[in-house]
Chain A
Amino acid sequence: MPVEVLMPALSPTMEKGTLAKWHVSEGDTVGSGDVIAEIETDKATMEVESVEEGRIGKILVSEGTLDVPVNAPIAIILYEGDDENTPLPEGSKQQAEPDAKESAAPEKQEEPEKAPTNQVKITVREALRDAMAEEMRKDETVFVMGEEVAEYQGAYKVTQGLLDEFGARRVIDTPITEYGFAGIGCGAAMAGLRPIVEFMTFNFAMQAIDHIINSAAKTLYMSGGQMRCPIVFRGPNGAASRVGAQHSQDYSAWYASVPGLKVIAPYTAADAKGLLKAAIRDPNPVVFLENEMLYGQSFDVPDTDDHIVPIGKANIRQQGDDVTIVSYSRGLAYVEEADAALKELNINAEVIDLRTLRPLDMETILTSVKKTNRLIVVEEGWPVCSVGSEICSAVSSLAFDDLDAPCLKVSGKDVPMPYAANLEKLALPTAGDIVEAVKKVTYTQ
């Protein structure tokens, strides 16, 4: 019976890829382990090997096709005795999805409103890269260091192309020694350079947190204002997908509690770009928390090399009167999902994207709460001593008389991140959790 070859995933977070090359043609005989195709994502390239022995019956996705979804059938392998007319087994994808090219899902559209003419749609990954490249062109003291940032083009391809443009003096591969290179970055910043230190993920920055806090954040104060440390620590933060407890932690609340740091956690590509540029120009140490799950998402970004978003200003993503929902980074993806359900309930939420976690834009939050009289804070991090805890406490003390319901937090659960797919889902906040919280504070049945 014929067997389908499916589009493989290169990583747990990959959703689609490009079929770059076929090494075989229809009718060719293949053995187990033979390379039959090459696929690419913006992060990596991989060869597809046949796991079957047989004959290529049909190539379903032609060479050069973009955005082929993971698990879409790309070819059919025939066994001895099969021919082109032998039916596929029950449950094959090919039956349900007749053409992989057709089924290639378009990029999720994050901002439905019509974009002004001078906007371009780019991914968060590209936005971050462009921000660094533009600032490096402008300021010779800006350089990037980290694991795999140069020759490998970035573990998540965020630094793609920087080595080619700026050379090995300014795009520096480091050994896997976070404590050491974070300290070297701080020393270079104290000497007046403007380092961008990339952590492959913020989970590994725990080894370097001593320098982030003791060397970067405190030096200006301890030196009576003499010694600056203009440095950006950036990289993906928070849960990725199926990588378990040690690679899935949200450090937002940790860094946001430290005086002497600025802490940024953008959601959209435009904010990622504008805020990273602002961070690089800032004379203070900045912790810039990205999210791996957002890297591949596209958003409209102003088509200019001078798009700066001010640090410390939240953004009202959606106006509403019934409840204020505050979130940041990937938390907003859950909020947007919940919002559709809320609209069906006739609840108009005001959605605030914090963008910066330190300093917090309390003014925007308080103004909104004065209008809606209700507050929900959504985050992926743990609930104890969280960003939500801080905001709920501040709103309760500063706007007590404006509140018609208790401030509620929707957060990740108070557990290390489990590996099992079902448990992982349970450990993260969901749109359903948000809807439930909103129903509670709006007294909706």
Chain B
Amino acid sequence: MSSDHKKSTKQSAVKPEKVKPKQKIELYRQMLLIRRFEEKAGQLYGMGHIGGFCHLYIGQEAVVTGMNAVKEEGDQVITGYRDHGHMLVCGMEPNGVMAELTGREGGYSRGKGGSMHMFSVEKKFYGGHGIVGAQVPLGTGLAFANKYRDNGNVSMAYFGDGAANQGQVYESFNMAKLWSLPVVFVIENNRYGMGTSIERASSTTDLSHRGASFDIPGIKCDGMDVFKVMQAGKEALAHARSGKGPFIIEMVTYRYRGHSMSDPAKYRSRDEVDEMRKDHDPITTLKDMLLEDGDIDEAGLKEIDAEIRKVVSEAAEFAQNSPEPKTDELYTDILVAND
């Protein structure tokens, strides 16, 4: 795994020293928020406050954080069911996300969507989709609308290494290239589609090449390094925005937890997980860099940590105290009343 990361990007990485300290600290803050939020969600799941499926993003934080840092106003985001991190970086309220996890009235979908189905039209987050790969044509459709309106926006469609084998992904690649749609396909390769390693599921494992037969350029990127993600994202978004059509980034990343909360993850060794956490953790890496460069001191870090813990515990409290949806909500939002 580690060698994969070292050879990764063809691009020269965004030079961290060129990123302003303030922005570096913000990236750190966002990644830490996702990490703490997800840990809390895991806890609440264990306590029975969150039901059904709950797919945690722990370990993959640098991917959405880096991409989010280089997107432009109006660019859309769509992803699959491992979606909590995407929503938080889009600026959706932790309270509303957590309350949706607990199925309460205060949730983004008023409790009717759950972990896998949340949306914010205002923040340009288009879900939150539970069917593996479905977000890829949907995200391509968002790009279609951008081109139709000629609004200069790019859609970012995130999907995993598992979804990368879905037929509809290639149907979308074909049309995206055929029509030069402004879409960036972000493949979050966390090495396991549920319990099946990529080597056991994919005839070719370099997912950055998956657009080759459609002439869609692709790059492989170390998804554990937020600066490398930013660099790859910048290149991809600029390509798509310039009218050249789709671009693929394979983000080589890792999830520390099981596929979902009910997965004990026996298909991989504890050593493998420990090695990733110890040597490649995106948050620890950035934290060490901040300290080394003197961008922040221990006290500053503590302050951020405390502030995030407060946000997360408030979200957990809100999510538990928000009432369940009223029973008449059962029959609302099935159809839009005619305007």
Contact = CB atoms under 8 A, between A and B. Distances in A.
Contacts of B140: 180, 183-184, 187
Interface stretch (A3-11, A222-230, A330-338): A222-230
A183 B129 contact: no
Given A175-B178, A211-B134, A220 B142 contact: no
B195 interface: no
Interface string B166-195: 011001101100110000000000000000
Contacts, number: 149
Contacts of B131: 210, 214-215
A351 interface: no
Nearest to B171: A180
Residue of B126, B155, B175, B335 with highest tally of chain A CB at under 10 A = B335
Given A222-B109, A260-B335, A227 B148 contact: no
Contacts of A1: none
B141 interface: yes
B134 A221 contact: no
B130 interface: yes
Contacts of B171: 175, 177, 179-181, 183
A175 B175 contact: yes
A89 interface: no
A143 interface: yes
Given A187-B142, A214-B130, A222-B113, A182 B137 contact: yes
B332 interface: yes
B107 interface: yes
A125 interface: no
A260 B127 CA distance: 18
Interface stretch (B36-44, B114-122, B198-206, B255-263): B114-122
A228 B334 CA distance: 10
B14 to A, nearest CB: 30
Interface stretch (A190-198, A341-349, A424-432): A190-198
A185 B117 CA distance: 19
Interface string A67-90: 000000000000000000000000
B144 A180 contact: no
A222 B81 CA distance: 13
Contacts of A63: none
A283 B126 contact: no
Contact of A224 (B113, B130, B179): B113
A230 to B, nearest CB: 8
A175 B174 CA distance: 8
A227 B121 contact: yes
Nearest to A185: B141
Closest 3 CB pairs of A and B: A187-B141, A183-B137, A180-B171
